Amino acid sequence: MTAHPEASSLNAALTAFAVEHLRAAGHAVRVSDLYAMKWKAAVDADDVPDHPADRRLDVLAAHEEATLAGRLTPDVDAEQEKVRWSDAVVLQFPLWWFSVPAILKGWFDRVFTNGFAHGPAVPPPYTEGALGGRRALVSVTIGARESAFSDRGVHGRLADVLHPVQHGLLWFTGMAPLDPFAVYGTVDLPAERFEAAKREYGRRLDGLFADEPVPFRPLTDEYDQDMRLRPGLEEPGTTGLDLHVRPEEHRDSAHPPSSAA
């Protein structure tokens, strides 16, 4: 999945690199180039063709009904089929206003329907999830410098800024997101930094199925009936979004290496 309006952009170059790299490693790859596809971004009544014009559009209910009846639009159908087919989803985009471009948000809003990605008809979120068993990798280009997204950086840590995507979309639907891959300082990126970024990205793609995902917490065991984290699971003093990631020392026991399993 790639979302940049310019065919010669850094995002397009990283997408082409990833496709080549993964194919050379023997993977089958399917690309959704949202701008090239002229992807419709806004959810509306046209997304649920059977919806009576005189009925109030309740998006959740209408999405569920259309999804379960197999009556979504062909563009959404095709994207759901690609996600179902995949073992891993790679999202390539420029960070605009500290989030994904609108066209990619529209891919989230229109493809990840109630009945497909969440809701009563599929396994519960954050543990199994409708799309469980899939890896996910966010690859993002950022104009600003890396220090501004570091632990004390003014924009917030990149992991926190991307929480709505990493935890809210990917982990929620059952995918296992890896740490994001980011290229910073992309305004007039020197050629040698682009080459270095490609080498690093190649290593990350090599680890797509091997690297440890972000150890987000499962809903069923670690949260109570109000969906609040049970007391005592975190390191003392932990607050905010850090609560929802298992501390490093718990990582090994939660994900035993295969040699020890």
Q: Which residues bind a second copy (CB under 8 A)?
A: 5-6, 8-9, 35, 39, 41-45, 56-60, 94, 96-103, 105-106, 108-110, 112, 126, 143-145, 147-148, 150-157, 160-161, 163-164, 167-169, 187, 217, 219, 223, 226-229, 237, 239-244
Cα angle 23, 28, 33 (rounded to 5 degrees) comes to 90
Task: Please state the φ and ψ torsions of residue 88, each to the nearest 5 degrees.
Answer: -155, 145
The residue among 9 and 73 lying less far from a second copy, judged by its C-beta, is 9
Give the nearest distance from C-beta 105 to a second copy in angstroms. 4
User: d(Cα 170, Cα 163) in Å, to the nearest integer?
Assistant: 10
Label residue 140 exposed, middle or buried (CB < 10 Å: 0-12, 13-18, 19+): buried
> Do 17 and 205 touch, CB atoms closer than 8 A?
no
Is the Cβ of residue 239 or residue 259 nearer to a second copy in the bound state? 239
Q: How far is the CB of 89 from a second copy (least distance, A)?
A: 14
Which residues fall within 8 angstroms of residue 20, CB to CB, at 6 or more apart?
none
- Closer residue to a second copy in complex, CB, 20/46: 46
C-alpha to C-alpha distances, 194 to 9, 17, 20, 27, 77, nearest whole angstrom = 12, 11, 16, 24, 36
Report d(CA 7, CA 36) in Å as an integer. Answer: 9
Q: How far is the CB of 260 from a second copy (least distance, A)?
A: 29
CB of 148 to a second copy, least distance (A): 4
CB 42 within 8 A of CB 78: no
* 25 vs 45 by CB, closer to a second copy: 45
> Which of 22/170 has CB closer to a second copy?
170
CA distance 170 to 177: 6
Give residue 60's identity as a one-letter amino acid code.
L
Sign of CA dihedral 86, 10, 18, 193: negative
Taking the complex as a whole, how short is the minimal distance between the CB of residue 154 and a second copy, in angstroms? Answer: 5
At its nearest, how many Å lie between a second copy and the CB of residue 257?
Answer: 28
Q: In the complex, what is the shortest distance from the CB of residue 98 to a second copy, in angstroms, rounded to a whole number?
A: 3
- Please say whether the beta carbons of 239 and 210 come within 8 A: no
Q: Which residue, 14 or 103, is less far from a second copy as judged by CB?
A: 103
Q: Between residues 204 and 217, which has the closer beta carbon with respect to a second copy?
A: 217
- What is the C-alpha separation between 136 and 11, in angstroms, rounded? 17
